[in-house]
């Protein structure tokens, strides 16, 4: 339908419009105020009737009224009035079990305050729906003999025909319509307010209208008016709801005159809307010409009239419900977009800087995008320019520059916040970069660890010539300025700092991240052993020459001391990071030589968890891969079972399809799963008596197929099993 004004020759566009009639709630009970098993105040419950919280309804939930099928007694409401009502409807929500006979309930009414109940509202078999095990809504007009009465009461009568089963009733409501004629339905706006962006393009707003016909068999036609004030506002189209979408059975016509809209919906032949609720019946699609500032308007719904689906076309008495819709018309809005939401500057040497281009675009077709302020939450990342204006369809280039410092380097990240006049301001972009060659970073990889100690030893022994950047990184004595020379004093400052994870001035190292191994097939393994008596061992096996190693592991024991049971040439130390609850263990060959491949036991005075950081340095100053083997605890786990736990099942199990279970556990049992290289892939603490696992590792990914070890620990007792994972 075009937006322009449309004229019709249909005479029924000019029919007199029926006035809307007010509706009131004459009686309502959701049983919230009841104290089970008693009824709410004023109710009379016979034996077999009670209130309770079992199976809350989908409406108000909470309490509901229950009737046992074997009881032949009644539940009676308090009295209420229907004076002045030309029509009244009873609605309630009801649920029955399969063994409760539908004919076991009927509803009668009284007009003498509950003394006698001669008026049948719903007979046996009609008051209870056929469906079972779910709540259903029932709605029925009250008999005319109850209208305009001052003392009405309803009685829910249990007939006692069912030997078992029950029903539950909730959200009982009587709505009275104050009119001399029959009021059968209500037309209203489905929503109370909305906001429309003005201007050309795809800007539009949907304003739905609903029709409630629960009190009448149906209607075959309806018309109504809508008016507004704002001259820039116009109707784009009217979209039919599902019930009237067939344009053969239903004719939709409308006429717009200035800011006044008349709508007529007429069923063809015998087409009619049956009793029910239609939301939406129709949806108005509105547009607005561009405005400079926000404008407020109100859509007003009026003059609703309908024809009943009966031969004489009786008036359906359509009342107006929510008659007003508050509309805000806003100026055109720019649209902020960015070339990417994540950027990486890459590696940048300390003392230098590098930049990435961030391109901001305005994808709107009318409004200018004003970027008012751009800020970074990390001072190492700066933005230029920090503001600007972008015309519709245009873009602006901004640069984010990363400048690591001698104490703030390594892996760095910043969130860049763009404040602007578009929606969803501020917009956020993530920037990452890695600074290299900061304080202590002799290798220039952005981290400070045992690798840098090995480099510093070679600098001091003149085995390796340091670049100017490396000299600046390792020249630490006198701390922090240095003396332009490298000697054993600089090595001492560096090694002590690596052990503690911070410098003498309290500045912490960059976050430790271990680079990938670089020595072909060379491999090292670490194994945690609990020897009992407060003695804990990290057993390090290395199949190539070694100059140093470093482990960082969670530990509950601050200040744990360490020593090596073999090889006196290894300088070994440990420190405790209280902030992270971790032990740092560092060892290196102080004479600059390398140990031959072998085994070394590192003895600890306190327990440690699986290392989150592990690196071993070989003779050629390469890192080699370190793997953890399953922990070993003495005495052997199999000789000291924790509980009557049953073996895992199913075993083998399919990852992401089966659920691996271990029953008969003590609550609080710790369960860990390791692969055959000793890497822990899962850990949990059971809350109940059964362990369950779907085969996902710590990061949420399905584990690879293969053999795994399950370890259970409860009250210092250990038990392990082997399990096989399949795809």
Do residue 189 and residue 117 come from a single domain? no
Do residue 340 and residue 412 come from a single domain? yes
The encoded tokens of residue 651 equal 């075993």
For residue 249, tell me if it sits in a domain: yes
Going by their DSSP bridges, the two strands 260-267 and 250-257 should be labelled as antiparallel
Residue with tokens 């405005």: 291
The encoded tokens of residue 381 equal 């990342």
Q: What is the DSSP string of 635-693?
A: S-GGGS--SSPPPPBSSSEETTTS-EEE-SPPTT-EEEEEETTS-EEEEEE-SSS-EEE
Q: Could you tell me if 473 and 437 are in contact, meaning their C-beta atoms sit under 8 angstroms apart?
A: yes
Residue 348's nearest CA partner among 408, 397, 398 is: 408
Do residue 128 and residue 73 come from a single domain? yes
Q: Provide the angle, in degrees to the nearest 10, between the axes of the packed helices 450-460 and 488-500.
A: 170
What does the DSSP 8-state code read for residue 183? P
The string of pLDDT tens digits covering residues 283-323 is 999 999 988 888 999 999 999 988 877 666 677 778 888 89
Percentage of the residues of the chain whose pLDDT score is greater than 90: 49
Cis peptide before 393 (omega within 30 of 0): no
Higher pLDDT: 647 or 142? It is 142
Residue 186's nearest CA partner among 133, 243, 224 is: 224
Do residue 246 and residue 340 come from a single domain? no
The string of pLDDT tens digits covering residues 140-158 is 888 888 988 989 999 999 9
Last residue of a domain, one of 598, 633, 668: 633
The string of pLDDT tens digits covering residues 560-589 is 556 665 555 788 888 887 777 888 999 998
Q: Within a 10 A sphere around the Cβ of 409, how many other Cβ atoms?
A: 27
Residue with tokens 């937006």: 3
The CATH number given to whatever domain includes residue 42 is 2.60.120.260
Do residue 698 and residue 602 come from a single domain? no
Residue 212 and residue 278: Cα distance in Å, rounded? 6
CB-count burial class (<10 Å; 0-12, 13-18, 19+) for 414: buried
Whether residue 63 has pLDDT greater than 90? yes
Do residue 261 and residue 384 come from a single domain? no
Q: Could you tell me if 408 and 380 are in contact, meaning their C-beta atoms sit under 8 angstroms apart?
A: yes
Q: Is 452 helix (H, G, I), strand (E, B) or coil?
A: helix
Q: Could you tell me if 294 and 52 are in contact, meaning their C-beta atoms sit under 8 angstroms apart?
A: no
For residue 12, tell me if it sits in a domain: no
- Give me the residues paired with residue 587 across strands: 549, 572
Residue with tokens 């005319």: 144
Predicted local confidence at residue 554, as pLDDT: 87
Q: What's the number of domains the chain is made of?
A: 5
Do residue 115 and residue 258 come from a single domain? no
For residue 690, tell me if it sits in a domain: yes
Do residue 165 and residue 30 come from a single domain? yes
Q: Within a 10 A sphere around the Cβ of 290, how many other Cβ atoms?
A: 15
For residue 706, tell me if it sits in a domain: yes
Q: What is the DSSP string of 32-48?
A: TT--TTSPSTT-EE-TT
The encoded tokens of residue 683 equal 């850990």
For residue 471, tell me if it sits in a domain: no
CA 517 to chain centre: 38
For residue 445, tell me if it sits in a domain: no
Structural domain that includes position 543: 523-633
Predicted local confidence at residue 50, as pLDDT: 96
The pair phi, psi for residue 171, each rounded to 5°, is 55, 55
Residue 96 and residue 135: Cα distance in Å, rounded? 8
Residues, the chain: 727
Q: How confident is the model at residue 199 (pLDDT cuts 50, 70, 90)?
A: confident
Going 465 to 467 to 473 to 477, the CA torsion angle's sign is positive
Do residue 93 and residue 163 come from a single domain? yes
The string of pLDDT tens digits covering residues 592-641 is 899 998 888 888 878 888 888 899 999 999 988 888 888 765 444 343 34
Residue 275's nearest CA partner among 331, 193, 220 is: 220
Residue with tokens 């204006």: 389
Q: What is the mean pLDDT of the chain?
A: 85
The CATH number given to whatever domain includes residue 341 is 2.60.40.10
Residue 495: its H or E element: helix 488-500
For residue 419, tell me if it sits in a domain: yes
Q: Could you tell me if 81 and 149 are in contact, meaning their C-beta atoms sit under 8 angstroms apart?
A: yes
The pair phi, psi for residue 458, each rounded to 5°, is -70, -30
Residue 183 vs residues 12, 235, 324, 425: alpha-carbon distances, Å = 21, 30, 20, 49
The CATH number given to whatever domain includes residue 288 is 2.60.40.680
158-167, 328-337, 621-630, 671-680, range with the lowest pLDDT: 671-680
Residue 608: its H or E element: none
The CATH number given to whatever domain includes residue 688 is 2.60.40.1930
Residue 371 and residue 356: Cα distance in Å, rounded? 19
The encoded tokens of residue 83 equal 């004076």
Q: Could you tell me if 356 and 345 are in contact, meaning their C-beta atoms sit under 8 angstroms apart?
A: yes
For residue 496, tell me if it sits in a domain: no
Percentage of the residues of the chain whose pLDDT score is greater than 70: 87
The string of pLDDT tens digits covering residues 355-366 is 999 999 998 888
Higher pLDDT: 168 or 700? It is 168
Higher pLDDT: 675 or 690? It is 690
* Cβ-proximal residues to 146 (8 Å cutoff; 6+ apart), any chain: 82, 88, 109, 111, 119, 152
> Model pTM greater than 0.85?
no
Do residue 136 and residue 200 come from a single domain? no
Q: How confident is the model at residue 279 (pLDDT cuts 50, 70, 90)?
A: very high
Last residue of a domain, one of 119, 150, 177: 177
Do residue 91 and residue 155 come from a single domain? yes
Last residue of a domain, one of 149, 177, 205: 177
The string of pLDDT tens digits covering residues 408-466 is 999 999 999 999 998 889 999 999 999 999 999 999 999 999 999 999 999 999 999 99
Do residue 195 and residue 325 come from a single domain? yes
Residue 36 vs residues 65, 93, 95, 719: alpha-carbon distances, Å = 9, 19, 18, 50
The encoded tokens of residue 410 equal 């390594």
């Amino acid at each position: 339908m075009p937006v322009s004004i449309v004229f019709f020759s249909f005479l029924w566009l000019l029919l007199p419009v029926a006035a809307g009639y007010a509706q009131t709630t004459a009686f309502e009970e959701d049983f919230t105020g009841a104290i089970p098993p008693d009824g709410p105040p004023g109710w009379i419950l016979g034996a077999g009737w009670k209130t309770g919280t079992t199976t809350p309804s989908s409406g108000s939930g909470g309490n509901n009224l229950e009737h046992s099928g074997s009881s032949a007694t009644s539940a009676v409401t308090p009295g209420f009035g229907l004076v002045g009502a030309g029509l009244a409807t009873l609605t309630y929500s009801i649920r029955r079990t399969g063994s409760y006979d539908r004919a076991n309930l009927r509803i009668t009414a009284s007009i003498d305050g509950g003394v006698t109940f001669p008026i049948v509202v719903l007979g046996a078999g009609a008051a209870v729906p056929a469906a079972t095990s779910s709540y259903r809504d029932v709605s029925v007009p009250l008999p005319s003999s109850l209208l305009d009465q001052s003392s009405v009461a309803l009685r829910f009568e249990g007939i006692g025909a069912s030997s078992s089963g029950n029903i539950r009733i909730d959200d009982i409501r009587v709505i009275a319509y104050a009119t001399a004629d029959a009021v059968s339905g209500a037309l209203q706006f489905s929503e109370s307010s909305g906001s429309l962006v003005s201007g050309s393009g795809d800007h539009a707003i949907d304003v739905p209208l609903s029709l409630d016909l629960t009190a009448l068999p149906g209607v075959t036609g309806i018309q109504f008016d809508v008016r507004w004030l704002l001259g820039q506002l116009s109707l784009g189209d009217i979209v039919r709801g599902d019930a009237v979408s067939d344009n053969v059975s239903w004719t939709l016509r409308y006429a717009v005159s200035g800011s006044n809209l008349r709508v007529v919906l007429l069923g063809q032949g015998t087409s009619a809307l049956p009793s029910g609720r239609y939301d939406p019946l129709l949806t108005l699609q509105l547009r607005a010409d561009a405005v400079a500032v926000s404008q407020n308007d109100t859509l007003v719904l009026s003059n609703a009239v309908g024809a009943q689906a009966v031969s004489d076309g009786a008036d359906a008495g359509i009342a107006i419900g929510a008659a007003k819709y508050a509309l805000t018309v806003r100026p055109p809005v720019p649209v902020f977009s960015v070339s990417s939401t994540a950027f990486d500057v890459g590696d940048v040497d300390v003392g230098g800087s590098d930049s990435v281009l961030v391109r901001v675009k305005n994808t709107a077709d009318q409004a200018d995008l004003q970027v008012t302020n751009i800020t970074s939450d990390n001072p190492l990342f700066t933005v230029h320019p920090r503001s600007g204006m972008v015309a519709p369809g245009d873009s602006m280039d901004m640069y984010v520059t990363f400048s690591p410092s001698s104490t703030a380097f390594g892996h760095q990240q910043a969130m860049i916040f763009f404040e602007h006049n578009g929606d969803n301001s501020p917009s956020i972009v993530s920037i990452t970069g890695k600074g290299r060659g900061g304080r202590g970073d002799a290798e220039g990889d952005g981290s400070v660890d045992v690798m840098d100690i090995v480099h510093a030893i070679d600098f001091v022994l003149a085995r390796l010539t340091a670049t100017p950047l490396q000299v600046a990184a390792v020249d630490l004595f006198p701390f922090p300025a240095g003396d332009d020379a490298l000697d054993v004093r600089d090595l001492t400052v560096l090694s002590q700092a690596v052990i503690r994870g911070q410098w003498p001035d309290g500045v912490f190292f960059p976050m430790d991240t271990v680079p990938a191994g670089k020595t072909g097939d060379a491999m090292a393994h670490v194994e945690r052993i609990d020897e009992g008596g407060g003695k804990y061992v990290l057993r390090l096996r290395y199949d190539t020459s070694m100059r140093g190693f470093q482990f960082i592991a969670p530990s509950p024991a601050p200040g744990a001391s360490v020593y090596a049971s073999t090889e006196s040439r290894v300088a070994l130390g440990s420190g405790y990071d209280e902030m992270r609850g971790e032990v740092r263990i560092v060892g290196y060959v102080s004479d600059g030589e390398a140990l031959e491949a072998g085994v070394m036991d590192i003895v600890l005075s306190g327990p440690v968890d699986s290392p989150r950081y592990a690196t071993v340095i070989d003779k050629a100053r390469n890192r080699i891969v370190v793997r953890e083997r399953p922990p070993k605890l003495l005495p052997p786990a199999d000789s000291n079972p924790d509980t009557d736990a049953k073996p895992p099942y199913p075993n083998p199990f399919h990852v992401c399809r089966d659920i691996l279970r271990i029953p008969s556990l003590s609550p609080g049992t710790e369960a860990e799963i390791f692969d055959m290289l000793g890497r822990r892939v899962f850990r949990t603490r059971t809350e109940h008596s059964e362990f369950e696992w779907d085969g996902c590792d710590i990061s949420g990914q399905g584990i690879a197929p293969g053999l795994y070890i399950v370890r259970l620990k409860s009250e210092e007792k250990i038990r392990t099993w082997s399990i096989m994972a399949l795809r």
